[in-house]
Amino acid sequence: MRRLLLFMLPILIIVTIVLVLFGILQVRSEETKLLDELKRKARAVAESMELSVRHALINNDQRSIARLVERFQKRERVQGCAIYDKDGNVLAITDRFLEWKKQDRPYIKDLLAGPKAVPRGSVEKFKQYAVYSYVFPVLDDEGKIVGLEEILYDTSYVFTQLEEIWKRLTIALLTLLMLIAGISLIVQRRIFTDPVERLTEWFKKFQKGDIDHEHPIKDKGELGKLASEVEQVALGLRVARKVVTEEAQVRMQKAELWTEAKLRDLVRAKLGENALFVVSNREPYLHMINEATGQARCVRPASGVVTAIDPILRACGGTWIAHGSANADKKFVNSRNKLGVPPEDNRYILKRVWLTKEEEDGYYYGFSNEGLWPLCHITHTRPLFRESDWHIYRKANKKFADSVLEELPSKNPFIFIQDYHFTLLPQMIKEKRPDATIALFWHIPWPNPEVFSICPYQAEILDGMLGCDLIGFHVQYHCNNFIDTANRFLECRVDTEKFSIVRGGKETFVRAFPISVDMNINSSAGREDSNNVEKIRKEYELEGKIVGLGIDRIDYTKGLAERMMAIDRFLEKYPEYRKKFVFIQIGAPSRTHIKRYHDLMGELDELAERINWKYKDDEWIPIIYLKRHFSPEELKPFYRLADLCIVSSLHDGMNLVAKEYIAAKNDLNGSLILSRFTGAARELTDAIEINPYSVEEFAASIKLAVDMPPPERKRRMENMRKIIAENNIYKWAGNIITEMTSLRKA
Ligand code: GDG
């Protein structure tokens, strides 16, 4: 509409100006015409009276003068006459113009005093009227003025006529303007808006993989040409996709180990033209303003979910819908809140969903991380369930549901939802799109039914989750807990053979899919990598030291305090390792708005400082605590140089740091100390297993790791690397997608 106005406004202005100018000229000419006519009439009247007036004036015959003037009384109302003597005094005047005598009439004197006695006409103001006065000098035989005749007309009718002309012109102008506006609107719709709308609609369908092959765009003209070009591109893409899908099916049958290419082939073979949508709270790429430079930069967050899902979408493409949480996020999206990522090499689409501060507080910090997170992790941190948080959590799930629904193509989409932030989302989507195949992966542990029963909203949460066709956990134990919980709190039927839950005629399968990493993630051994390792060794004075490493989000579930206390005990019990052992703890601050997390940061600072104070000398401190966010590239050399890595979670769904460390150690020279309360401990049986609550056992395990004979260390590392190479992130995704496609709705 704005564009149409911009287009029409100049035309309307020009037409108005032209018509007004035309009106002025027309009125002027009409006015001149009417006044000329009056002048002619007045002159004729004056001339017809001239002889009689002259005679009467020369003879000073007052009666004749009065009679001459009286003739005008009977004339039409508008006319009058006055006769003056040679000094300009009124001798007689028509009654209706009696007041005229009082009027200031300098032109009479001017005419009498002037060198030439010529008649003159002018429009004069008289009361509320405009009066046309025609003054005619009466001369004697010698040409001297003996008096004047003045013929008067009321000219109101002239102006009434002019007004009438203006009125007609205004009506004509308005009609013309309306006609122009109407025609422009119709023309604009026909040649621009309608075709563009049709083209947009077609593009939308094309984007969603829902092209109407039978009815191609048929617009003629420039837009039609554009549409036909687009159609050619679409056709090319369709054909290419088909070819790739078929090739993929052939290759699928050949490849052994899971790779990025094999997953890509699987997705193309299984999903075909059906699009993949991932939903998570944390976005894989954040745009943040760097406070020092004021420049925006792109950051990869410290998140196991992001670490796992990003390689999958890089491999297969698709759309990832997540909360746009960083302060410059809005600057980098298009009008549909989307952008291509990774920023330097767009492989898939990230759609950002905006939440208000209140929503972020209630849904993310409150219900998700103060309620569900501690509920599912048995770490003795009390879960907090506030009614207000629950309402906001529901609202936020609805917001994500709307955002997902508006992206879905019309047929059989695949939706892969991540984690405990979205327990209600599956049902919300399923209600609107029963044809969608929905899977939810629960990245954290699922507790037993007694623990879960603490949650006041247990039934709604379970119901929401059962909107899925598939629910995945890292380990079978969590699957069992979930089935037991649903069985205990919902009216449903558990099929123990198929491992599924049937509720209200709808079946949800529950499966274990142990998540993993890409084996190549940290393992390149190029010159640049070696240089980076050496740089770190120099910077932190690690030459000749045994280096231990921990990389974690600062979270009370990760057992960071227990780790530091075990290091303390290790140095206390085995003093020969003082000055020889250095532990680097990288801690990425996380959920710092929650008091428990804020307090934990303080506790860890104090603990590290106390231990360092206890043992340090001028050249050595035992714990190097690096409390900031690192980029994945920065983390790489730390993984590569560490002689041992400690993962001491009090409870952890899987733990990817353990697997990343193994992937990084292609020199096989490293030991992994791993908490038995992680999902990873079930697969990585060659790690040194610990109970992080037992400080003695923990300290002894550090001793075991540093003393381990190299061949034994190598053997264990080799075994663990084999397990991860076989069970990598692509296999995890491949298994989930295969399971999803087997459940695909017809
Ligand atoms: C949940 C479950 C499950 C760490 N610091 C930085 C950084 N990281 C990366 C690590 C790793 C990831 O964050 C952490 O993964 P975890 O698996 O340890 O843990 P959670 O974030 O708690 O993840 C967990 C996981 O989901 C996957 O399902 O394993 O059990 O709790 O990749 O390398 N990354 C960056 N900067 C850092 O400073 N960029």
- The pLDDT, as a whole number, for residue 28 is 87
Q: How far is the CA of 352 from the centre of ligand 1 (A)?
A: 21
Residue owning the nearest CA to atom 9 of ligand 1? 302
Contact 266, 252 (CB under 8 A): yes
Q: Ligand 1 — pocket residues by CB below 6 A?
A: 300, 302-305, 307-308, 443-444, 515, 551, 553, 586, 588, 629-632, 635, 652-657, 660
- The pLDDT, as a whole number, for residue 228 is 66
Q: In what order do the strands lie in the sheet with 500-503?
A: 338-341, 348-353, 319-323, 276-280, 414-418, 437-441, 470-473, 506-512, 500-503, 493-495
Q: What whole-number distance in Å separates Cα of residue 517 and Cα of residue 727?
A: 9
Q: For residue 262, what are the contacts with CB-CB under 8 A and spacing of at least 6?
A: 251, 252, 255, 730, 734
Residue owning the nearest CA to atom 22 of ligand 1? 304
Contact 470, 499 (CB under 8 A): no
| Candidate of 656, 660, 683 to mutate for ligand 1, largest count of ligand atoms within 8 Å of Cβ | 656
CATH of domain 526-726: 3.40.50.2000
Cα angle 258, 260, 264 (rounded to 5 degrees) comes to 100
| Candidate of 285, 473, 551 to mutate for ligand 1, largest count of ligand atoms within 8 Å of Cβ | 551
Q: What whole-number distance in Å separates Cα of residue 629 and Cα of residue 588?
A: 5
Q: How far is the CA of 655 from the centre of ligand 1 (A)?
A: 7
AA letter at 419: D
Q: How far is the CA of 463 from the centre of ligand 1 (A)?
A: 29
Residue owning the nearest CA to atom 19 of ligand 1? 304
Residue 517 CA: which ligand 1 atom is closest? Answer: 32
Q: What is the CA radius of gyration of the chain?
A: 48
Residue 678 CA: which ligand 1 atom is closest? Answer: 30
Residue owning the nearest CA to atom 20 of ligand 1? 304
| Candidate of 553, 636, 645 to mutate for ligand 1, largest count of ligand atoms within 8 Å of Cβ | 553
| Candidate of 278, 297, 303 to mutate for ligand 1, largest count of ligand atoms within 8 Å of Cβ | 303
Residue owning the nearest CA to atom 7 of ligand 1? 302
Residue owning the nearest CA to atom 34 of ligand 1? 302
Q: How far is the CA of 307 from the centre of ligand 1 (A)?
A: 7
Q: Which helix (H) or strand (E) holds 657?
A: helix 656-664
| Candidate of 654, 659, 661 to mutate for ligand 1, largest count of ligand atoms within 8 Å of Cβ | 654
Residue owning the nearest CA to atom 25 of ligand 1? 304
- The pLDDT, as a whole number, for residue 261 is 85
Q: How far is the CA of 184 from the centre of ligand 1 (A)?
A: 60
Residue 308 CA: which ligand 1 atom is closest? Answer: 27
Residue owning the nearest CA to atom 15 of ligand 1? 304
Residue owning the nearest CA to atom 6 of ligand 1? 302
Q: How far is the CA of 451 from the centre of ligand 1 (A)?
A: 25
Residue owning the nearest CA to atom 14 of ligand 1? 304
Q: How far is the CA of 447 from the centre of ligand 1 (A)?
A: 20
Kindly write down the DSSP assignment for every residue of 425-484, as one continuous string: HHHHHHHH-TTSEEEEE--S----HHHHTT-TTHHHHHHHHTTSSEEEESSHHHHHHHHH
Specify the 3-state DSSP secondary structure of 371: helix
Residue owning the nearest CA to atom 18 of ligand 1? 655
CATH of domain 276-512: 3.40.50.2000
Q: How far is the CA of 266 from the centre of ligand 1 (A)?
A: 26
Q: How far is the CA of 372 from the centre of ligand 1 (A)?
A: 18
Q: How far is the CA of 286 from the centre of ligand 1 (A)?
A: 16
- Both structure tokens of 497: 């053979």
Q: How far is the CA of 324 from the centre of ligand 1 (A)?
A: 19
- The pLDDT, as a whole number, for residue 78 is 62
Residue 628 CA: which ligand 1 atom is closest? Answer: 38
- The pLDDT, as a whole number, for residue 707 is 97
Q: What whole-number distance in Å separates Cα of residue 483 and Cα of residue 189?
A: 58
Residue owning the nearest CA to atom 26 of ligand 1? 304
Q: How far is the CA of 523 from the centre of ligand 1 (A)?
A: 18
Backbone angles phi, psi at 575, to 5 degrees: -60, -20
Residue owning the nearest CA to atom 30 of ligand 1? 653
Distances (CA, A) of 98 to 90, 92, 699: 10, 9, 129
Contact 319, 208 (CB under 8 A): no
| Candidate of 285, 443, 627 to mutate for ligand 1, largest count of ligand atoms within 8 Å of Cβ | 443
Q: Structure pTM?
A: 0.72
- The pLDDT, as a whole number, for residue 235 is 58
Checking 164-168 for CB contacts under 8 A at 24+ apart, the result is 165/23, 165/26, 165/27, 165/30, 166/23, 166/27
Residue 680 CA: which ligand 1 atom is closest? Answer: 29
Average pLDDT along the chain, 746 residues, taken 10 residues at a time = 76 86 87 86 89 91 89 74 91 88 86 85 85 91 90 82 84 87 82 76 64 56 69 60 57 71 84 82 94 88 81 85 96 93 91 97 97 96 97 98 94 94 98 96 97 97 98 97 96 94 96 93 71 94 97 98 98 97 97 95 98 96 97 94 98 97 95 98 98 98 98 98 94 93 78
Q: How far is the CA of 157 from the centre of ligand 1 (A)?
A: 94
Domain 2-160 = CATH 3.40.50.620: no
AA letter at 147: G
| Candidate of 281, 286, 307, 416 to mutate for ligand 1, largest count of ligand atoms within 8 Å of Cβ | 307
Residue 656 CA: which ligand 1 atom is closest? Answer: 17
Specify the 3-state DSSP secondary structure of 243: helix
Q: How far is the CA of 553 from the centre of ligand 1 (A)?
A: 7
| Candidate of 286, 645, 657, 727 to mutate for ligand 1, largest count of ligand atoms within 8 Å of Cβ | 657
Q: How far is the CA of 395 from the centre of ligand 1 (A)?
A: 27
Residue 515 CA: which ligand 1 atom is closest? Answer: 28
